[in-house]
Amino acid sequence: MKTLKTFGLFLAGVLSSLVILSVVHADVLQKFDDVDYDAYYADGLNYFNHAGVINGFDYTHFKPDNFVTRAELVAILKRYDDGLVNAYHNGGVGELVTLICDGFTADDFDDSTVYDTVCAEP
C-alpha cells in the first residue's frame, strides 16, 4: 500500500509540475466554446490540448464538467507518456525531472532504485 501512496505522491508531483509549466503556454488559441478561459484549469487545458494529450469531444466542445472514464484516463496517460518519451529522446526532460524530484529523497520510495533511476544526480 505504501508503494501506491508513494506513486500517488509522485504522480501528484508530475501533474503539479505540468500545471506550473502550463502557464508558459497560455498563448495557445482558445479552442472550445464551452470553456471559461478564466477558469482555474484553462492554462492546463491549453497546454495539454496543444501537446496532444487532452482532446475535446469535437472541435468546439470540451465538456469540462463531464467525468473521466477509466478508458479515457488510460488514453490520456498513454498520450502523456508518449510525449515524455519523445521529449526524452529529444533531450527535453531535464527541467521536468528537476521539478518532479524536488523535495523527494530515496527514503520516500519503497524501492530506492526508482529514485536513483529517475532523480539521482548522474
C-alpha cell at 10: 509522485
| Residue 67 exposed, middle or buried by CB count within 10 Å (0-12, 13-18, 19+) | exposed
> What digits encode the pLDDT tens for the residues 42-101?
988 988 888 888 888 888 999 999 998 988 888 888 888 887 777 666 766 666 666 667
State the sign of the Cα–Cα–Cα–Cα dihedral 39, 42, 80, 53. Answer: positive
> What digits encode the pLDDT tens for the residues 4-17?
455 555 555 555 55
